[in-house]
Amino acid sequence: MKKILLSIVLFLSVDVFADFAEKGFREYKKGNKQKAKKLFEKSCKNKNPKGCYNLGYMYSVGEGGKLNKQKAKELYKKACDGKITKSCYKLGLLYDNGDGIRQDKQKAKILYKKACDGGYAKGCYNLGFMYSNGEGVIQNKRKAKILYEKACDGKITSGCYNLAILYDNGDGIKQDKQKAKELYANACDLGHVKACTSYRILNERKIKDKVKSADSIPIKLSKNFKKLKK
């Protein structure tokens, strides 16, 4: 009987704490930032990671009070530990950029990986970018490719675009112009302007190559051949 009563109390408690976060979010949407902040504080104190994340965000941008990146870091960590993958990503950004806290690329890498493993595509993209450029890690284009694929699957346009560039240039992976073209098209459809331009250039180049192979005969140039001056 005691076990049953305890379970009821726990479920009720969880609902109450979740309600603080939900009420806070409603107040935030209305523009009542200070009221929202107090509700998120109550939610976080009662170990609701959503409340911690929302409160961390408010501190990170200075809403409902003074901007405090250090406080945001602490709250993002609580939310990340509570399996809020977006919070792991946001904390990773703070460490990656040294934004109000000491820069630490290794911690950023770990947090991006945690976010990515939890299904948060932006974490996959940033981790892929680190591997592609050798930021805080040993450069590894193959790992970057895998991570950009995950980001692209998660509709991160830059993930599709950067993956297309790897295939287009054969940069650390096997060159595949057709795959690059498909990825440029995908990124373009998602609104990436540079990808639209790259798709058009690659498509036009392919058409020209087809024309050349169909009707041109290679001409052997003499040793005395010079560039035309006019």
pLDDT number for residue 203: 83
**Tokens in use for 47?**
């170990």
pLDDT number for residue 210: 44
Q: Work out the percent of the chain whose per-residue pLDDT is above 70.
A: 81
d(CA 220, CA 47): 77
- 64 contacts 36 by C-beta, under 8 angstroms: yes
Q: At what angle do helices 193-215 and 177-189 cross, to 10 degrees?
A: 140
pLDDT number for residue 86: 97
Give the model confidence (pLDDT) of 176-208 as tens digits: 999 999 999 999 999 999 999 999 998 888 655
Residue with tokens 């035309």, as numbered in its chain: 228
Mean pLDDT of 100-118: 97
- 194 contacts 161 by C-beta, under 8 angstroms: yes
Residue with tokens 């941008």, as numbered in its chain: 61
Give the model confidence (pLDDT) of 33-76 as tens digits: 999 999 999 999 999 999 999 999 999 999 999 999 999 999 99
d(CA 112, CA 132): 14
Could you give the 3-state DSSP secondary structure of residue 218?
coil
Q: At what angle do helices 49-61 and 85-97 cross, to 10 degrees?
A: 30
Going from the N-terminus, what domains does the chain have, and what CATH number goes with each?
Answer: 16-119 (1.25.40.10), 121-212 (1.25.40.10)
Strand ranges (E), 166-206: none
d(CA 218, CA 170): 27
d(CA 92, CA 204): 40
pLDDT number for residue 218: 34
d(CA 24, CA 52): 11
Residues in the chain: 230
Q: How many CA atoms lie within 13 A of 1 on its CB side?
A: 0
Instruction: For residue 106, count CB atoms less than 10 angstroms from its CB and return exposed for 0-12, middle for 13-18, buried for 19 or more.
Output: exposed
pLDDT number for residue 29: 92
**Tokens in use for 40?**
């998120």
Which residue type occupies 228?
L
Residue with tokens 């450069």, as numbered in its chain: 139
